[in-house]
Structure 1
């Protein structure tokens, strides 16, 4: 059986999307779904390609037992849109950027927004915490925990 492949995307791939990747991997492992799901992350821009996640984001994630191990990379439109089943963006601008990268309607149909999967929170996006304080990083993790649970449910019921 082929794994369902999920790509999380934000702007620079150093705060939100690597956190989504780590939260999702932790939930997948906890639920014993490792054999069914493959998780990755990328950015719509390559500003931080080759770099680890933001140190502040890593600190907040570690406090919740998430390990941000991914290395930043830019979305590779020629490969990622065909390879991944779900391309999950953190905000409306990321969705718009991804839709412009997509080459056809089939690829565009794979794009969704992270907060679409939230079960508790009513936010319309996962806000970028890069220029804010500690509360922003905590909010990101709160939203991702909620949305990743919802995404797993969505995938299992698809």
Structure 2
């Protein structure tokens, strides 16, 4: 299964979710089941950039190395990937606008739908304008949701 994580700029949430999911796949010995794990953004403003330095810092403190370079989501991604994981409702709206064929939206899910330890969250909030605590919260949420997403994709 090829999986793609989506956020607005591809510099905070989606590259983190990509790496968290990748580590969970490795730790469960399921690398062959997920040959492609990637992330992208709904905008191209940060294209080619590494993730936000605060996200890299907070993620590194938990053992995640974020080395992905931002790229924008393309219409072709809808055909390439089996599962497209959005971080929030705005991402879903933008994905609907970009989707080349309506039935391809069946591949799209919200990461927050897989939260188990954080039932009060309906999205993975964007920490960009927040504090380091907001980045830590996003890591907590992604760890929670990615674990459940992986079990659901069995």
Q: TM-score, normalised by structure 2?
A: 0.97
1:86 to 83, 88, 91: 83
Alpha-carbon distance, 1:6 to partner: 0.6
Aligned residues: 152
What are the ranges of 5 or more consecutive residues in structure 2 without an aligned counterpart? Answer: none
1:136 and 2:134 are equivalent in the alignment:
yes
Alpha-carbon distance, 1:105 to partner: 2.8
Q: Any runs of at least 4 consecutive aligned residues in structure 1 with deviations exceeding 3 A, and if so which?
A: none
| C-alpha RMSD of the superposition | 0.7
Deviates more, 1:13-22 or 1:29-38: 29-38
Distance 1:132 1:40 in 2: 25
- Classify the secondary structure of the residue corresponding to 1:35: helix
- Classify the secondary structure of the residue corresponding to 2:69: coil
Identify the residue that residue 113 of structure 1 maps to in structure 2.
110
1:68 to 66, 69, 94: 66
Identify the residue that residue 27 of structure 2 maps to in structure 1.
30
What are the ranges of 5 or more consecutive residues in structure 1 without an aligned counterpart? Answer: none
